[in-house]
Amino acid sequence: MSKSLLERRPTARTALATAILGAATGRGVPAPPRPAPAVRCATRRGMAKMAAAALTREGGEDAFRRLFRFYRQRDVSDLRGVVDFSVPGGQVVRSQLSISSVSDQDAYRAGLQPVSQWKAYGLKGYPGFIFILNPFLPGCQRHWVKQCLKLYPQKPNVCNLDLHMAPEKTIDLWGQSKEQLRKKGSSKWEPRSLLEKLRWVTLGYHYNWDTKKYSANHHTPFPSDLAFLSEQVAAACGFRGFQAQAGILNYYHFDSSLGIHVDESELDHSRPLLSFSFGQSSIFLLGGLKREEAPTAMFMHSGDIMVMSGFSRLLYHAVPRVLPNPDGTALPSCLDQGLSSDLPVGSVIEHSSDEDWQVCAKYLQSSRINMTIRQVLAEGQKFPDESGTKGKGQAPSEDGHHQENSRTKRHKPNTNTDS
């Protein structure tokens, strides 16, 4: 749809908002004496929210979408307004974890450091939001990357390629892609492997992208290793008894984004949403209960975990941009080290062969993998009566990756610009 004349024509209000946003990010304005870090953070946040409000009034778009567009731009290089939890300050506060809820042995079995060593943070104004800086033991991220590329896309799990390929063609995406990936060069004109065409995989209760619901009629066993990892993280955040019942794996490339949405399809909102990231970095936007509220931008790097619970469980959020990792290398340095040879008894972590890791590493040079895990039903809860709906509408469409004008879960990564 073409933009209205009002959106295209510069006005004084647009100019004012642009000036405010420029000041918030340090673009196009002289550099004044630098105040204290906390003051700088608060000033940038305030200016960004003022800019979003002014732009909302001008173009008829909400504050969230305006900032989504801003960070989506390829030429946005000044990201000083993005929260970096590795250098906490300003609105970043420490989060208290339930150290006694997870034994060191169980943490090791999940490939995690003891909870007492985790660095967990929250954000002022976002109760229930917890950000955990990479708590994985050296080499253990590799296990989850391999599972997301080699095991979890296998049947009976569901992926986007099932929509337009014969079932026999999607049985072994790894086997059909590994040699092509291993030999892949740097040219963007090379044909993409099937794994590079993977956009999403669903686990457990399979989310229906068309009806925006889960169903008792569309369920497959949830991976036991991922369930164990999720249970430990949830328990450390105060949610003992969390049950990993559904998972959505998103596969991003440098041109991918994740549209504005709320995860509200689960029947039990008292349990948290867990998010795990691996590979390249991204900008994550966390907004409010309404899209008119300007979001806070933050970096997510490989190994980082986010937990959305309580008030923050039903907030709007999005990923406008995937970025190269901050180390400036092909892969984040946290992925350099291999797995220790002496895994604890009962560990869910498995050793990866050098051959398998070469394929994974090649994939991650231009990609990011995100696992979001959720509990769909409360203890003893059942789905509403679904008589007459069995087997209907289970195949999602690949359209509308950025259906941002409604409060829906449209979170298949998109390779198109937001428009």
pLDDT-based confidence at residue 148 (cuts at 50, 70, 90) = very high
Q: Are 223 and 233 in contact (CB under 8 A)?
A: no
At 167, give phi and psi (nearest 5°): -55, -40
pLDDT at 12 over 80: no
pLDDT number for residue 46: 53
With 0-12 / 13-18 / 19 or more C-beta atoms within 10 angstroms meaning exposed / middle / buried, residue 88 is: middle
DSSP string of 344-397?
PTT----PPPHHHHHHHHHHHTTEEEEEEEE--S-TT--PPP-TT-TTSS-SPP
What pLDDT is attached to residue 395?
Answer: 39
Return the pLDDT at 410. Answer: 41
- Best-predicted range by mean pLDDT (51-65, 147-161, 176-190): 147-161
Beta bridge partners of 123: 92
In this structure, what token pair is assigned to residue 196? 């590079």
Lowest mean pLDDT among 144-158, 265-279, 338-352, 357-371: 338-352
Identify the band that residue 88 occupies on the pLDDT scale cut at 50, 70 and 90. Answer: confident
pLDDT of 89 strictly over 70:
yes
What is the per-residue DSSP string for 10-26? --HHHHHHHHHHHHHHT
Check residues 367 and 8 and name the one with the higher pLDDT. 367
Is the model's pLDDT at 199 over the cut of 60? yes
Average pLDDT over residues 280-296: 96
Euclidean distance between CA atoms 199 and 355, whole angstroms = 24
pLDDT over 90 percentage in the chain:
67
Q: pLDDT of 30-72, one tens digit each?
A: 333 444 444 444 544 555 555 545 444 445 689 999 999 999 9
Label residue 186 exposed, middle or buried (CB < 10 Å: 0-12, 13-18, 19+).
exposed
Q: How far is CA 378 from CA 128, 222, 350, 374, in A?
A: 19, 16, 31, 11
Average pLDDT on 277-295 reads 97
- pLDDT of amino acid 185: 75
Provide the residue count of the chain.
419
pTM above 0.85, yes or no: no
The 3-state DSSP class for residue 265 equals coil
pLDDT at position 27 over 50: no
Would you state the pLDDT for residue 388? 46
Q: 382: which residues sit within 8 A by CB, 6+ positions away?
A: 216
Mean pLDDT of the chain: 82
Alpha carbon distance 333, 356 (integer Å): 18
Low-confidence winner among 65-79, 200-214, 217-231, 358-372 (lowest mean pLDDT) = 65-79
204-220 average pLDDT score = 94
Q: Is 58 left (phi over 0), alpha (psi -120 to 50) or beta?
A: alpha
User: How many whole angstroms separate alpha carbon 419 and alpha carbon 408?
Assistant: 17
In our burial notation (b when 16+ CB lie closer than 10 A, e otherwise), range 251-289 reads bbbbebbbbbbbbebbeebebbbbbbbbbbbbbbbbbbe
Distances (CA, A) of 241 to 129, 311, 347, 384: 19, 20, 20, 23
Confidence band, pLDDT 50/70/90 cuts, at residue 385: confident
DSSP-derived secondary structure letter, 120: E
Question: 366-405: string of b/e by CB count within 10 Å (b at 16+)?
Answer: bbbbbbbbbbbbeeeeeeeeeeeeeeeebebeeebbbebe
